[in-house]
């Protein structure tokens, strides 16, 4: 049974309101049992000082520990930041004790260091299994060229990714694309920064990154891009019109959240996946998958 | 062990662009890329130029790209590099995006040293001339050992994703260095250094992508140093403008509501009285609104359950720091 303490994060319910319902629908259809953590805080996203985000994250980890469940995230940044806090708290019992004593005791909580934190992508790759996911595919994305875009915190640092234990964590996105019937397009940018974190500090550099990644994917023939990170989505989808002006060229690359791509292949409609909420129209891609469906049911 | 090295060759006196030449060499099983380069120089072509000094990863002199990845040549074995090379050939190139001087030698001045110098990375002591020695305790300096072990090899700057799009960005190597000095108990110019580091194309331009930390051969973790510089700047009320507004608004929203209020964040980052900035948000906001993508306006943003507990954590942290 895949039962998780579900940590949706801020953006899946804020700037990317299409992500939350898509993730829940897909998880339910795959038979995951999700217990949503509603009373926990933002991870700090690498913006807040570790001195205050570590206690907030320790509180989240302690609450999942009480439930006896691993945490499921749907955001690369949430995963990276809470994962890093978890590593510090697990490795250093003295530090953990101090946080428990100074911040959690008042609420009657104590983190013992046993909670596991996994992004939905890792859960598909490790707990659920991609072979099992393949069995659920009813609308294979045959022939669709899909560029992957991980988000920094799903690539680095390697100790937080636990690459020694799970060496394939940097390959799950392409593996998932292939399992869903699509064709993974290899890009140089897939593991790089999307540009979102510096949108306020240096807009030019941020839009340059957004433009470079979407243009590279488009040049290599991608019909669509997929990301497990809603912050990357805000940049690559939301800022794409601005990147187009910055780069003085049309890009028009639809960008999907990971659960949306999985959802379409396992039988949900674009409407179920709230794809009408994207800034860059997904219509071309939707037509493409409609044709795949028609052709697969009416072989010539 | 027989290995083929594909080395970038460039002679500015003879050509405008470089090209690659292949050399087959026979080396010991444990040979490093640096050993391989020395073998090429002694047995194939004595005109090959590269740098290298200590041969034990202490001086940071022999940084090159091996199979397209930045590394120090003396800490990379050829046996390992062969496995990752294309068709078993090990490619060796100068660091990117530094300007090339000859073969594998690149211009350290523009790429690294001028940026270092701009940060004034030295201790400014308060002691009058002739006063007794400025002492540092073992325990304080021990905490700095991580950042002090930087060898200025340049690999973090080579991996930096911001430098890749903006060569003027000061980069993780220089920021790590300034962090090292700011943390030194003898330094009396902490505030000036933090102010300078908070200026344009410095500490706030970092995307915290962790490439610098991933590229460092000495586990210096420059990305962490940048995080700490930012925290210190905020704590000391240093810096202004959009990135600092962003940081403050982010913290205020998590403190009060338990989670992020993105509408408030977007407006407060620009500043309530920054009309051009707010106007620029218009099209982005409108596009999001039309797609029913925009988060609720901030006065409708609901507090998370548990927001009180988060606020308590914030208050306690603020009191203690």
Q: What secondary structure letter does DSSP report for A48? A: S
Chain A interface test: which of B293, B300, B303, B320 (most A C-beta within 10 Å): B293
Taking phi first (over 0 means left), then psi (-120 to 50 degrees means alpha), and beta for anything else, what does residue A132 get?
A: alpha
* Residue range A139-156, pLDDT digits in tens: 999 999 999 999 999 999
* Residue range B82-106, pLDDT digits in tens: 999 999 999 999 998 788 999 999 9
Nearest to A40 among B261, B294, B306 (CB): B306
Distance from CA of A135 to the nearest CA of B (A): 33
User: For residue B89, what are its two tokens?
Assistant: 């050939």
Residue B299 is predicted with a pLDDT of 65
Residue B283 is predicted with a pLDDT of 86
Chain A CA closest to residue B291: A277
B203 close to B160: Cβ distance less than 8 angstroms: no
- My answer on whether B208 and B278 are in the same domain is no
Burial of A297 (0-12, 13-18, 19+ CB in 10 A): exposed
CA B262 – CA B11 distance, rounded (Å): 54
- My answer on whether B269 and B226 are in the same domain is no
Element housing B283 (H / E):
helix B275-290
A224 close to A177: Cβ distance less than 8 angstroms: no
- My answer on whether B267 and B159 are in the same domain is no
* Single residue among B235, B255, B282 that ends a domain in this structure: B235
- With 70 as the cut, is the pLDDT of residue B190 above it? yes
- My answer on whether B214 and B254 are in the same domain is no
Nearest to A51 among B259, B288, B317 (CB): B317
* Three-state SS at B188: coil
Nearest to B214 among A15, A157, A209 (CB): A157
Strands B100-102 and B105-106: antiparallel
A86 close to A57: Cβ distance less than 8 angstroms: yes
Q: Judged by CB atoms within 8 Å, which residues 145-174 of A form the interface with B?
A: 152-153, 155-158
Residue B280 is predicted with a pLDDT of 83
**Residue B161, Cβ neighbours under 10 Å: how many?**
24
- My answer on whether B117 and B100 are in the same domain is no
pTM of the model: 0.95
* Chain A residues lying within 8 Å of B208, measured CB to CB: 46, 152, 197
CA B315 – CA B321 distance, rounded (Å): 10
User: What's the length of chain A?
Assistant: 300
Nearest to B269 among A11, A200, A239 (CB): A200
* Residue range A59-106, pLDDT digits in tens: 999 999 999 999 999 999 999 999 999 999 999 999 999 999 999 999
* CA atoms within 13 A of residue A119's CA, in its CB half-sphere: 32
* Three-state SS at A119: strand
CA A281 – CA A254 distance, rounded (Å): 6
**Torsion angle, CA of B273/B279/B283/B287, rounded to 10 degrees?**
30
Element housing A34 (H / E):
strand A33-36
* Three-state SS at B276: helix
- Kindly determine whether residue B242 and residue A201, on different chains, have CB atoms separated by under 8 Å: yes
CA B155 – CA B247 distance, rounded (Å): 29
- My answer on whether B268 and B310 are in the same domain is yes
- My answer on whether B85 and B159 are in the same domain is no
Distance from CA of B303 to the nearest CA of A (A): 10
* Residue range B194-242, pLDDT digits in tens: 999 999 999 999 999 999 999 999 999 999 999 999 999 999 999 889 9
* Chain A residues lying within 8 Å of B161, measured CB to CB: 192-193, 209
Strands B63-66 and B89-93: antiparallel
User: For residue B156, what are its two tokens?
Assistant: 């973090």
CATH number of B125's domain? 1.10.1060.10
Residue span of the structural domain in which B261 resides: 242-320
Distance from CA of A42 to the nearest CA of B (A): 5
* Three-state SS at B298: helix
**Residue A281, Cβ neighbours under 10 Å: how many?**
13
- My answer on whether B6 and B60 are in the same domain is yes
Residue B168 is predicted with a pLDDT of 94
**Residue B133, Cβ neighbours under 10 Å: how many?**
6
User: For residue B150, what are its two tokens?
Assistant: 């930087």
- With 90 as the cut, is the pLDDT of residue B286 above it? no
Residue B308 is predicted with a pLDDT of 96
pLDDT, mean of residues B52-64: 94
CA–CA distance from B24 to each of A177, B4, B281 (Å)? 40, 4, 59
- My answer on whether B117 and B210 are in the same domain is yes
* Single residue among B191, B207, B235 that ends a domain in this structure: B235
- With 80 as the cut, is the pLDDT of residue B131 above it? no
* Chain A residues lying within 8 Å of B310, measured CB to CB: 41, 56, 59
- My answer on whether B9 and B101 are in the same domain is yes
- My answer on whether B92 and B113 are in the same domain is no
Distance from CA of A169 to the nearest CA of B (A): 16
Q: By C-alpha distance, which of B63, B57, B38 is closest to B49?
A: B38
Chain B CA closest to residue A43: B259
Whether the predicted interface score ipTM is above 0.90: yes
- My answer on whether B226 and B268 are in the same domain is no
Strands B69-72 and A3-7: unpaired
- Kindly determine whether residue B250 and residue A107, on different chains, have CB atoms separated by under 8 Å: no
A36 close to A8: Cβ distance less than 8 angstroms: yes
* Single residue among B219, B235, B251 that ends a domain in this structure: B235
CATH number of B72's domain? 3.10.20.30
Taking chain A (300 residues) in runs of 10, the rounded mean pLDDT of each run is: 95 95 98 97 96 98 98 98 98 98 97 98 98 97 97 95 96 98 97 97 97 98 98 97 97 98 97 96 94 77
* Residue range B245-263, pLDDT digits in tens: 999 999 999 999 999 999 8
Residue A300 is predicted with a pLDDT of 63
Overall domain count for chain B:
3
Distance from CA of B250 to the nearest CA of A (A): 8
Per the prediction, chain B carries an average pLDDT of 92
């Amino acid at each position: 049974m895949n039962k998780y303490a579900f940590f949706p994060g801020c953006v899946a319910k804020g700037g990317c309101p299409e992500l939350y319902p898509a993730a829940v629908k897909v998880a339910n259809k795959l038979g995951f049992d999700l217990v949503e953590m509603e009373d926990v805080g933002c991870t700090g996203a690498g913006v807040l000082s570790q001195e205050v985000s570590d206690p907030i994250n320790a509180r989240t980890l302690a609450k999942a520990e009480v439930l006896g469940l691993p945490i499921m995230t749907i955001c690369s940044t949430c995963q990276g930041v809470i994962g890093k806090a978890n590593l510090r708290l697990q490795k250093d019992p003295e530090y953990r004790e101090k946080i428990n004593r100074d911040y959690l005791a008042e609420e009657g909580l104590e983190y013992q260091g046993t909670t596991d934190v996994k992004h939905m992508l890792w859960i598909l790759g490790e707990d659920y299994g991609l072979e099992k996911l393949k069995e659920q595919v009813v609308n294979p994305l045959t022939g669709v060229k899909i560029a992957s875009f991980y988000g920094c915190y799903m690539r680095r640092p390697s100790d937080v990714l636990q690459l020694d234990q799970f060496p394939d964590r940097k390959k799950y996105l392409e593996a998932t694309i292939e399992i869903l019937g699509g064709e993974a397009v290899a890009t140089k940018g897939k593991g790089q920064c999307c540009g979102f974190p510096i949108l306020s500090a240096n807009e030019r550099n941020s839009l340059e990154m957004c433009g470079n990644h979407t243009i590279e994917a488009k040049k290599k023939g991608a019909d669509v891009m997929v990301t497990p990170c809603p912050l990357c989505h805000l940049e690559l989808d939301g800022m794409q019109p601005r990147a187009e002006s910055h780069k003085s060229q049309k890009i028009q690359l639809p960008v999907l959240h990971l659960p949306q791509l999985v959802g379409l292949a396992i039988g949900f409609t674009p409407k179920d996946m709230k794809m009408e909420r994207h800034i860059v129209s997904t219509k071309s891609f939707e037509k493409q998958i409609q044709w795949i469906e028609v052709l697969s049911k009416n072989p010539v | 062990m027989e290995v083929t090295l594909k080395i970038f060759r460039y002679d500015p006196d003879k050509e405008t662009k470089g090209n690659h030449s292949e050399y087959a060499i026979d080396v010991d099983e444990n040979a490093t890329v640096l050993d391989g380069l020395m073998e090429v120089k002694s047995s194939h072509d004595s005109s090959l130029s590269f740098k290298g000094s200590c041969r034990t990863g202490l001086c940071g002199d022999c940084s090159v790209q091996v199979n397209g990845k930045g590394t120090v040549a003396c800490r990379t074995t050829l046996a390992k590099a062969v496995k990752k090379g294309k068709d078993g050939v090990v490619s060796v190139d100068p660091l990117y995006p530094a300007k090339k001087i000859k073969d594998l030698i690149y211009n350290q001045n523009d790429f690294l040293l001028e940026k270092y110098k701009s940060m004034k990375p030295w201790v400014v002591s308060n002691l009058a001339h002739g006063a007794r020695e400025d002492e540092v305790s073992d325990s304080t300096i021990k905490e700095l050992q991580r950042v002090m072990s930087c060898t200025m090899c340049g690999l973090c700057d080579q991996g930096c994703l911001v430098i890749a799009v903006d060569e003027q960005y000061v980069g993780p190597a220089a920021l790590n260095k300034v962090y090292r000095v700011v943390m030194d108990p003898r330094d009396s110019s902490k505030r000036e250094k933090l102010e300078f580091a908070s200026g344009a194309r410095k500490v706030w331009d970092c995307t915290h992508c962790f490439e610098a930390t991933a590229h460092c051969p000495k586990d210096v973790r420059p990305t962490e140093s940048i995080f700490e510089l930012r925290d210190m700047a905020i704590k000391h009320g240093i810096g202004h403008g959009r990135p600092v507004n962003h940081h403050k608004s982010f913290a205020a929203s998590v403190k009060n509501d338990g989670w992020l209020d993105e509408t408030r964040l977007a407006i407060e980052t620009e500043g309530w009285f920054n009309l051009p900035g707010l106007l620029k948000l218009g099209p982005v906001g409108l596009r999001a609104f039309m797609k029913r993508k925009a988060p609720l306006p901030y006065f409708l943003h609901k507090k998370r359950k548990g927001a009180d507990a988060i606020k308590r954590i914030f208050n306690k942290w603020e009191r203690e720091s």
